Each structure stands twice: as structure tokens, then as C-alpha cells.
Amino acid sequence: MKTKNFTKTFTLLLGLMLIAAFGFAQATIVEWNFDDETKQVEPHLPYSADDGIPSNVDIAPVSLTGASFTDWNTGASGQSANANNWDDGNGTKYWQASFSTEGYENLALSSKQRGSNTGPGDFKVEYSLDDLTWADVPSANITVENNFTTGVLTNVALPAACNDQPTVYLRWIMTSNTSVNGGTVASAGTNRIDDIVITGTALPLTLTLDVEGEGTIGYNTDVNQPVNINQTRNGITWVNCIDPPCDYPFEPGTYVQIRAVPAPGWEFVEWVGTYTVASIPAFRIVFDQITVE
Ligand SMILES: [Ca+2]
């Protein structure tokens, strides 16, 4: 007679030391302040990022299309990139930035522009994932004046399509040929750009363990997040943290051990990272029913 093959009881202890300081903090993914004299040299543009995550800093470029770089001039702080030859540039002349957002979501854009009186007065920001097809970033129309306080975007949300991408392209493109002073953009008219900053929050943690319960936890150490541990129903008898306090979500810095004990008739299969709620990391524990022979 075949007997039910009761599962071995797996008792898995997982120590998670969440070395964390701030939950859900905004991280600087990429920043150009244009103040690095070592990069203010020929050919000047593209100018690589001054700050950000390792995949961007000193790599991610800001470039210029259609107009002409003139010099490094006074910016909102330090220097800014300055350009002329914006005449007849409606829809064709733009500043452009490209950068990685891998591992990040909830992206927000800030930038500052200033024009001379005959420089272009109207821009908008578009985004692309392939440098070919462009769409508007919502709420990113910019009116430029002869100061660094008007043509400013502050924490404008980037579309979710930009999350977790190897390369996101943004461009600040002219939307008219009207100049700052209400005339027509002249070839001598200039536009400066400074303090481009994109922030975001780290994507949820991912956890990979094999069936023996050995494995590693991988997460972005730049931004640490609270951790939820969810129960699944497939045969699990109990998943919990071992050492109180066990309030969910666990705050960053909490030392947590969780135990997965399959119910009779079930077998532990794997731990996987999962996204149960946007921005809330969770660990799912998978069980399969054991074949009754
Ligand atoms: Ca600057």
C-alpha cells in the first residue's frame, strides 16, 4: 500500500540584517551641476554626470542638438552650460540627457534654465527609451526668462515607463520661436542649463534562496527600505520573525529571522522576492504539494 510521503520538516532560519538608515528615501540617481573644471574642457559637451549612482556618475551625458555651446557661464550655482544659435529651433533644437534608472522607481526631475532676452522662451521636456520615439513628460512645460528662478522644474514626476531602465533619454526641446522678451529668437540669443537632478526610490528587495535555505539577499545599499514578510497559503504552517518585535513592516535596521515550516503533505520549494504592493518589498515562500504514492 502506498503511504503518504509526509514532507520533511524544513526549518529554515533566515537572518536578515537590514543595515538601513532611512526607509523609502529619495536617492540621487543622476545629477549634473556643471561645476567640475576638469570636465569643462574641449569639446565641453557631452558633459558627464557629477553625481548619482555608480552607473551614471562620470558616465551619463548631457549633450546639445541644433544649437551651439558657447561657454561655461554663471549658473544657478557655480557654472552652467551656455549655448546660442537657437534661432528657428522650434521642435528641433534641444538639450539632452541620458542615464540609467536600473533598480529605481518613483523618479522625479528637477532642472534650471535661463535665457538672454533674445534666447528661446519656451521649452518642454520629453522622454524616450530608445532615442527615437519621444513622448511628453507631463507637467514639464518651461517658460524661460532672464533669470534662474523662472525656467525651473522641481521634482516633476517622470512616467513609470522610465522606471528600472538601462537608459532613459530626456530632452529639453524648444516649443516656439518666441524669445524671452516676446520677439523672435535670434542667433545670438542664449540659453543656459544647470542643476539637472533626477531622484528616485530603490525598487523592492529581491531575495534568492535555494531549497536548503541558503542564499543571499540583494538590495540597493544606497536606499534601504522596510521589509514585509508575507505568508502564503500553500502548505505553510507558520512564517514569522523569530525575535520580537515582529511588527510588520519591519523597519530598516531590524534584525529579523523568518522560519518556513511546510504543513504535512507539503514541501518547501523556494524563497523568491516578489512585489505584492508597489514599493513594498515582500518575500514569498513557495511550497508544492508532495505527490501521494
Ligand atoms: Ca552649476
63 CA distance to ligand 1 middle (Å): 15
What is the pLDDT confidence band of residue 170, given thresholds at 50, 70 and 90? Answer: very high
Whole-number Å distance between alpha carbons of 192 and 72? 9
18-47 per-position pLDDT tens digit: 322 233 457 899 999 999 999 999 999 999
pLDDT reported for residue 25: 58
Percent of the chain having pLDDT more than 70? 60
pLDDT reported for residue 191: 98
172 CA distance to ligand 1 middle (Å): 17
Whole-number Å distance between alpha carbons of 180 and 79? 21
256 CA distance to ligand 1 middle (Å): 44
40-98 per-position pLDDT tens digit: 999 999 999 999 988 899 999 999 999 999 999 999 999 999 999 999 999 999 999 99
Which CATH number is correct for 27-202, 1.10.3720.10, 3.80.30.20, 3.40.50.2300, 2.60.120.260? Answer: 2.60.120.260
pLDDT at residue 241 is higher than 70? no
155 CA distance to ligand 1 middle (Å): 18
pLDDT reported for residue 5: 28
pLDDT reported for residue 26: 76
DSSP 39: G
pLDDT reported for residue 268: 55
Whole-number Å distance between alpha carbons of 182 and 129? 34
Question: Domain coordinates of the chain in residue numbers?
Answer: 14-23+224-289, 27-202
Whole-number Å distance between alpha carbons of 63 and 54? 20
73 CA distance to ligand 1 middle (Å): 9
If one counts every other C-beta atom within 10 angstroms of the C-beta of residue 9, the result is 11
- Segment 220-234 shows an average pLDDT of 37
**Could you list which residues have their CB under 5 Å from ion ligand 1?**
33-35, 75, 77-78, 194
